[in-house]
Chains A and B, each alone.
Chain A
Amino acid sequence: MKVGLFIPCYIDVLYPQVGIATYTLLKRLKVDIVYPMGQTCCGQPMANSGYEYLACGTNKNFIQQFKEFDKIVAPSGSCVLHIKEHLKGESDLEKNQALHIQNNIYELTEFLTDVVKVENLKASFPHKVGFHQSCHGQRGLHLSGMSELTAPYFSKPEQLLQQVEGIEWVKLDKKDECCGFGGTFCVTEETVSSKMGKDRLADHEKNGAEYITACDMSCLMHLEGIANREKSHVKVIHIAEILNTQNAEQ
């Protein structure tokens, strides 16, 4: 199984350690993974702002970069959901390739639980951690159960975090409230966005978290920006970095 690693643009530029942790972790789990060098962005920033029609360039590029892989994996629920729901090909051939990609793209934690079926990670992270459920992963990709539904609760990221030694789980008041990032929403509606972020951070702080983790670095980037402005002691860390801890210590 040939797997393509998709590292979203903002992770590539601003949070390379998340990409490195993802790659290293997958390698450690014997996944045949390759990072296609010509990749750029999934096109979500344009599409979510109403400019989906401008995303043809990024669509074309994405299809070219990932069409040959059996599976594609990325450390970002939001970007994966965008590809799953909105990747468009132009010619018939491209449309088929897009469909193949959409059926085979995974967010990192669901790839680990559903495809690799990891049961023993041997990672260690002896800290108090609050888990931020990023909306697109949770409600869009169904990475975990949702508080609004009456279905039994499950969580793919938690399934993995439970395998991490020493981690202390922080129970939040609102377990799946949006952080307010929302792509360009964070600038077009900066007042509400930052208020939502402040509230999200406060929930973690109040319940004693040292770290906030999530499957989406974009939510964490927003929360980090607010935490730093408020001189909060709470730090953010992407779930891939926690899951890869043992490897980092070796």
Chain B
Amino acid sequence: MRNHASLAEQFNLDENRVDWHNKTLWFVREKRDKQSHQVPDWEKLREIASKIKLNVLSNLDTYLMEFEKNALANGIQIHWAKDAEEHNEIVLSILKDHQVKYMVKSKSMLTEECHLNEYLEKNGIEVTDTDLGERIVQLAKEPPSHVVLPCIHKKKEEIGEIFHKHLNAPEGLSDPQQLTEIARQDLRKKFLQSQAALTGINFAVAETGEFVVCTNEGNADMGTHLANVHIACMGLEKIIPKREHLGIFLRLLARSGTGQSITTYSSHFRKPRAGQDMHIIIVDNGRSEHLGKEKFRNSLKCIRCGACFNTCPVYRRSGGHSYHTAVAGPIGSILNPIRNREDYKDLPFASTLCGSCTNVCPVKIDLHNQLYELRQEIIASGSGESIKGFSMKMMARSLSNIKKYEKFKRTVKWGYRYTPFLLKNKINPWYKHREMPEMPKESFKEWYQKNISDGK
């Protein structure tokens, strides 16, 4: 079975790669720290952003309807999709209406969540991801490993190989500038031949019916300016009430995610240009059910900046693919099991609960507390491993009162003395990489009895 621990183990077979991955992401985390320190009242900004998002979640229906009304008035067509399947069908039907054969796509994690590319390809439509990182993983036939830095797991030499294989690049190329140029030239063709462009939505403004897409390469603009059909897809939580709130979120988003003061392009789309068809698909796919779960509701505030990925010491050493899902990292470990417990029940355990994710989150999601709570839910629903459950029951019993505890201590001591081979073998996961602690002659309690309570 796919689970985080075994996939992480595979990733760790190449320790140099782990070190490189760790270093690269830590570099981004440090850039974020520098940027956040340059903004006066950064913590206040986080607080305000968090409150705006909480307001949105508490009045989601009102804001969504306001957004729909205003977007319709702007000439945008609105579609509602209850799940991934419906979302994909809507995209396909729009493309069919316009007899589209080629579509360019600008970074949308939602379409990854819905597995749109596979679906469209099965239906005879060629989809090209235009964000450089997304394009690389698309050519490599891999899912993105990070929400903001989708191919952060690939080294430049590996990208050279992929480009050699798929884009006729000369062999052995690893210069990022040259590689980028090759990708650009190829993408230019795709932009020109595409009849439709699909983008994600970072922020949808209820007050005005407009939306904002943030990219660093301008690829959303390239696609949408050339194509006559623009489809924009959003999870229904992407709403913000007013345009004035954009100033808060745009300042937080790039600083938290990549350590830039702002994304290179924050493109505003309000209405279709003459002759253009503009569609917005508002997707639920489990979100309204999530909204009803009070303990986990505030994780829907997520603006997908990726800061929790970069800071997470587990993510940095296990790689995005170990989370076996589109949205990895600490936030993915909450969003995925809430949507599909059975497939992602391992993810809330892929954390030391160190709390660093909670501290970097620009909208103040209490990520580590939610991971703790999710663990309780997963175990309570009977999804835990039976061996672990058994040992936990034994442990809980042994620690429940002093008599059992003393007996337990004697057993451990006996084991240390007479069966060290049971402890010191490679089946013991502790012993695989670490020595066992030594067993002292007397416990603290014995010392206390001897020296304090009975004696002095």
Contacts and interface: CB of A to CB of B under 8 A. Distances in A.
A192 B314 contact: yes
Nearest to A187: B429
Contacts of B449: 37
Interface string A1-21: 000000101011111111110
Nearest to A178: B354
Nearest to A200: B313
Contacts of A15: 437, 440
A143 B439 CA distance: 30
Given A23-B448, A222-B434, A54 B393 contact: yes
B140 interface: no
Contacts of B393: 51, 54
Contacts of A177: 313
Interface stretch (B78-86, B99-107, B163-171, B356-364): B356-364
B418 interface: no
B316 to A, nearest CB: 9
A76 to B, nearest CB: 12
Interface string B434-450: 11111110111111110
A174 interface: yes
Interface string B356-376: 101110000000000010011
A126 interface: no
A205 interface: no
**Interface residues on chain A, size class:** 35 or more
A198 B12 CA distance: 13
Interface stretch (A39-47, A114-122, A156-164): A39-47
Interface in B322-338: none
A168 interface: no
A146 B349 contact: no
B141 interface: no
A184 B354 CA distance: 13
Contact of A45 (B43, B395, B436): B395
Given A177-B313, A178-B354, A182-B351, A46 B395 contact: yes
B176 interface: no
Contacts of B400: 40, 57-58, 60-61
Contacts of B396: 43, 46, 51, 54-55, 57-58
Given A57-B399, A61-B401, A178-B356, A12 B12 contact: no
Contact of B392 (A39, A51, A174, A190): A51
A174 B350 CA distance: 21
A192 B26 contact: no
B188 interface: no
Nearest to A36: B402
B389 A150 contact: no
A139 B354 contact: yes
A19 B429 contact: no
A47 B373 CA distance: 10
Contacts of B355: 135-136, 139-140
Interface string B384-426: 1000110011011101111001000100110000000000000
Contact of B443 (A13, A192, A221, A224): A13
Q: Is the interface of B mostly helix, strand, loop or mixed?
A: helix
Contact of A192 (B8, B36, B395): B8
A35 interface: yes
Nearest to B406: A40
A50 B360 CA distance: 25
Contact of A57 (B9, B376, B397, B433): B397
Contacts of B317: 192, 195-196, 199
Nearest to A150: B42
A197 interface: yes
B376 A53 contact: yes
A66 interface: no
A19 B448 CA distance: 9
Interface stretch (A93-101, A102-110, A206-214, A225-233): A225-233
Contacts of A167: none
Contacts of B402: 37-40, 61
22 contacts: A7-B445, A12-B444, A13-B412, A19-B448, A40-B401, A40-B402, A46-B396, A57-B399, A58-B396, A139-B354, A147-B33, A176-B356, A182-B351, A182-B354, A185-B351, A186-B430, A188-B5, A190-B430, A193-B352, A197-B434, A224-B435, A224-B437
Interface of B: 4-5, 8-9, 12, 15, 18, 22, 26, 33, 36-37, 39, 42-43, 311, 313-314, 317-318, 348-356, 358-360, 372, 375-376, 378-380, 384, 388-389, 392-393, 395-397, 399-402, 405, 409, 412-413, 429-430, 432-440, 442-449, 452-453
Given A41-B405, A178-B313, A192-B317, 4 more contacts: A38-B401, A51-B392, A151-B43, A192-B5
